Amino acid sequence: MATATKTFKNFIGGEWVDAGSGETFETTSPATGEVLGVFPKSSAEDVDRAVAAAKAAYEEWRLVPAPRRGEILFRFGALLAEHKDEVADLMAREMGKVLPEAAGDVQEAIDMSYYMGGEGRRLFGQTTPSELRDKFNMSVRQPIGVVGVITPWNFPIAIPSWKIAPALVCGNTIVFKPATDTPLLGERFVELLVEAGVPGGVVNIVHGGGGEVGNRLVQHPDVPVITLTGSRETGVAVLQSAAENLKHVHLELGGKNAIIVLDDADLELAVEGILWSAFGTSGQRCTAASRVIVQQGVYDELQKRLVGAAEKLRLGPGWEDGVDVGPVINKRALEKIHSYTEIGVGEGAKLLTGGEVASGNGLGDGSFYRPTIFGDVDPQMRVAQEEIFGPTTALIPVKDVDEAIRVSNGIEFGLSSSIFTRDVNTAFRAMRDLEAGITYINAGTIGAEVHLPFGGTKGTGNGHREAGQAALDVFTEWKSIYVDYSGKLQRAQIDTEL
C-alpha cells in the first residue's frame, strides 16, 4: 500500500471538503515517525456544516425501511472483508498493532456490521395484552436523530463499527470524529461505507481535536446523542457539557482489570492468558490486565514463568513477521508509561523486568516500551489503582479467594475481570461477586464477542452497553402505541366492570 504523504479532507453532505480555516495536521507512524498523511484541522464551523447535513439527511434516512438499511451494512461488512489485509496493514503503520491483532480489529468490524445488518429485519419491540376489551398494545423502537460519534485510537476500525453500525440500522445519521492519532483509518472506514451505498449526509466525518471538534459536537443543540469511548476525565466533562441540552450520552471509559490466579489454576494456561491480556496491543486496551492477583501457593512459580515468558516477547514494527509487541501510540504515551514505572519503584514495588524505553535494533525512531512486570505490589499502590494504558502489569499476592475478590473489586473501575481456577464452585462465585461488566473464567481479560453486551460498571461508564441487543437502546427511543378498536371511549385505570 502507498504510504507517501497525501492530503485528505472531511466528508460532509456527500462531498470531500477542506476545513473552513484551511489549517491541517499530520498523522505519523508510531513505529518509525514517518508522516502518513495530512488532514484538515477542523473547527466549530466545520462541525456545524456536518451537523446541518446530517440533520437534513435524517428526514429521509429514518424512512428508509430498516431491512434496506441493514443491507447497506451487509455490503459494508463484505467490503471490509475484501479489504481486510489492506486495512490491517494500514493499522499496523498508523496505530502500531501487530498484524494479527490489526486483522482481528478489522474482523470485529466485519462481525459487527453483519450482526447489526441482521437487526434490520428484527429491531424487536413488544406486544402485550390490554387491560381493556377491543384494544391492542405494542411498543416500537424509534430513531433519535443525529449521533455524534467520538472514538479513540486503540481500536480505530472496531470501535467506530460498534457505534456507527447500530446507529445507522436504527435510522440515525452520523457525525464522526475519529482520534487525531488515527485519522487515516477513520477516513478509510468512511470511504468503505460510502462505497457500500450510504447516502450523502447520512455519515459525515470531521477531523480535528477534541477541543475544537469534540466540544462543539457535544454542545451542538441538533445532536441529541453522543457516544464516546475515552478516559474517565473526558467522559465526566462530556456529561457536564451535554447536560444543558439533556442529551443521550453513552460513555465507555477506563479500566484497571485484574486476572485472579488461584492455587488450583492451570499455570501454563494462566501465563498465556496474562501475557496476551497484559501485553497485547502493548497494553493499550481498556480491557488490558494491568493487575494479576495471585494466591500465595503459586505466586513464586507464576512470577518465574511470567517474567521468563515476557522477556521472550519480541518488539518491533507491527507489520514485521514474528513481532509480538508493537509501539505505543506516541511519545506522550511513552513518557506517561515510564512515569508509572518510576512511581511503582518509588512506592516500593519490585521491578521484575522491563521498565525502560526500548531502543536499538531499529527501534530508536519509534515509541517502544519494554513489557514491564512489578512484583510484591500492595493493592493500594498507584500502579495497582490507576490506569497506565501501556505494557505494564502488577503482581499482587493474596491469601485466599476472599481476599482475591476484595482486591479485584477494590478499584474505581469495573470493566473486565478474570479468574483461573479448576473449582466450579469458586468459578460461579466469581461470576456473581466480581464487580465488572465482563467476567472470564480460565481466560484473560480481553476478547469480547459482538453479540454480547460490552461495557462496565462503576467508573467505567454510565450504565449503557455497546454490542449485542443492548446497543440498540443507546440509539433508539421507545414509543408505546395503543390502538382502541371498540368504537367508544375507554378509560384505562378507571374502575369498570368486566
The length of the chain is 498
In terms of DSSP H, where are the helices of 311-400?
331-347
Q: Phi/psi of residue 369, each to 5°?
A: -130, 135
How far is it, in rounded angstroms, from Cα 447 to Cα 88?
18
252 is catalytic: yes
Judge whether 110 and 88 are in contact, CB under 8 Å.
no
Q: Which three cell numbers stand for residue 9?
A: 479532507
> What single-letter DSSP state applies at residue 222?
T
Q: Are 206 and 46 in contact (CB under 8 A)?
A: yes
Judge contact between 225 and 188, C-beta under 8 A: no
> Which residue in the block uniquely carries the three cell numbers 531499529?
362
As a whole number of angstroms, the distance between CA 387 and CA 373 comes to 15
d(CA 155, CA 289): 17
98's CB contacts (< 8 A; 6+ apart) are: 92, 318, 323, 324, 325, 326
For residues 178-191, one letter each, b for 16 or more C-beta atoms within 10 angstroms of the residue's C-beta and e for the rest, the string is bbbbbbbbbbbbbb
Nearest CA to 251 out of 143, 316, 159 is that of: 159
In Å, how far from its chain's centre is CA 28?
A: 22
Indicate which residue of 286, 342, 347, 403 is catalytic. Answer: 286
Kindly name the residue from 94, 108, 212, 252 that is annotated as catalytic.
252
Based on the residue annotation, tell me whether 286 is a catalytic residue of this protein: yes
Point out the residues that are catalytic: 252, 286
